Amino acid sequence: MDVGSVGEFGLIERLAAIAGRPAPGLVLGIGDDAAVWRADDAFIVATTDTMVAGVHFLPGVHPWADVGWKALAVNVSDVAAMGAVPDFALVTLGLPPETPLEAVEELYRGLDECARAYGVAVAGGDIVRAPEAVVTVALLGHAQTDSHGQPLLLRRDGARPGYVLAVSGTLGDAAAGLELLRRGQTEGPLALAHSRPRPPLALGQEAARLRIPCAIDISDGLLQDLGHICRLSGVGAVIYAATLPLSDALRRACPDRALALACTGGEDYQLLLAGPSEALASLREKVPGPVTVIGEVVEGQGIAVLDEQGRPLDFPVPGWDHLRRP
């Protein structure tokens, strides 16, 4: 057996069974968007993500400044999905010796631009030799706390039957943008959505303050990521396809595939939230930008995507898996 036969998420489960034991002070370990542990009166939130040339970005297609922005932004998205506050980043670069110096400086300019936008300080890192360019960012932050000093966290295991499902922003733009970039179309809102995602950090923080219990960032595709919530919460879900927020740019560029890209495309770095309808209504009133109700949490297992006539729609591949074979 090899890792391709179990896939990315099956491998995570197997590794968690080996090393994911409880530890003093550990609030939340393997399996959520970030780990959380207690440090005196604070709760540290930590996450990490890696971008590899040829897998996550295409040298010669993606500008290096955009690679730097995105390398940090995807980590900010994890912190947003916890309702937390990002503080410090550590950056590891793996580089072939022939990498142009200007490329690395541009990467760091883009990363610094993202850091300034989200209030993050780059505090250190490492540089190593590698056969392809690799950027790994570890981001440390802290959880907000209530009046009793307890952490206010959005979690993947907090969905309950009767909760509504809502998403921020629009879906499918980034996946369409990648297709356009591969065809040499580097301008426009779809390409920008892919190259420079803007995670809704303030929205996640407000959701935590409103005690909305459950969220995940949409990185691997709406259905894939909703599946993580359902599995960890022990619930099922219904999505109403007609309610999914699709941008005009996506509808124009991919009129026949807009819905599929919204459901399975990935890399949107928006938030999927589950909570009582009253709490989500309050969130919609308090934050700028769209928050759209798209479905509900139900008893049982599995995810149903229904059209306007209530007929189920089939999406054989729910989203991105780094390791699973087609």
Q: Is residue 324 part of a domain?
A: no
Q: Is residue 305 part of a domain?
A: yes
Q: b/e for 46-70, b at 16 or more Cβ within 10 A?
A: bbbbebebeebbeeeebbbbbbbbb
**Are both 166 and 304 inside the same structural domain?**
yes
| Mean pLDDT value of segment 179-183 | 90
User: What CATH number is associated with residue 166?
Assistant: 3.90.650.10
38-86 pLDDT, tens digit per residue, is 999 999 999 999 999 988 988 888 999 999 999 999 999 999 999 999 9
**Are both 304 and 282 inside the same structural domain?**
yes
Give phi and psi for 243, each to the nearest 5: -90, -10
Q: Is residue 73 part of a domain?
A: yes
DSSP run (H or E) holding 252: helix 248-253
**Are both 176 and 136 inside the same structural domain?**
no
Q: Is residue 325 part of a domain?
A: no
Give phi and psi for 282, each to the nearest 5: -65, -40
Among residues 131, 151, 171, the one where a domain terminates is 151
Distance CA 126, CA 283 (A): 40
Q: Is residue 43 part of a domain?
A: yes
Q: For a pLDDT cut of 90, what percent of the chain falls above it?
A: 85
Q: Per the structure, how many domains does the chain have? A: 2
pLDDT for 202:
97
Give every CB contact of residue 198 below 8 A, 6+ residues apart in sequence: 73, 269
Reduced to 3 states, what is the DSSP secondary structure of residue 323?
Answer: coil
DSSP run (H or E) holding 19: helix 3-19
DSSP run (H or E) holding 122: strand 121-129
**Are both 206 and 115 inside the same structural domain?**
no
**Are both 212 and 145 inside the same structural domain?**
no
268-292 pLDDT, tens digit per residue, is 999 999 999 999 999 999 998 899 9
**Are both 209 and 101 inside the same structural domain?**
no
Q: Do you know the residue count of the chain?
A: 326
Give residue 10's domain range.
3-151
Q: Which of 59-68, 109-118, 262-271, 315-324 has the lowest mean pLDDT?
A: 315-324
Q: Is residue 323 part of a domain?
A: no
**Are both 213 and 138 inside the same structural domain?**
no
**Are both 137 and 161 inside the same structural domain?**
no
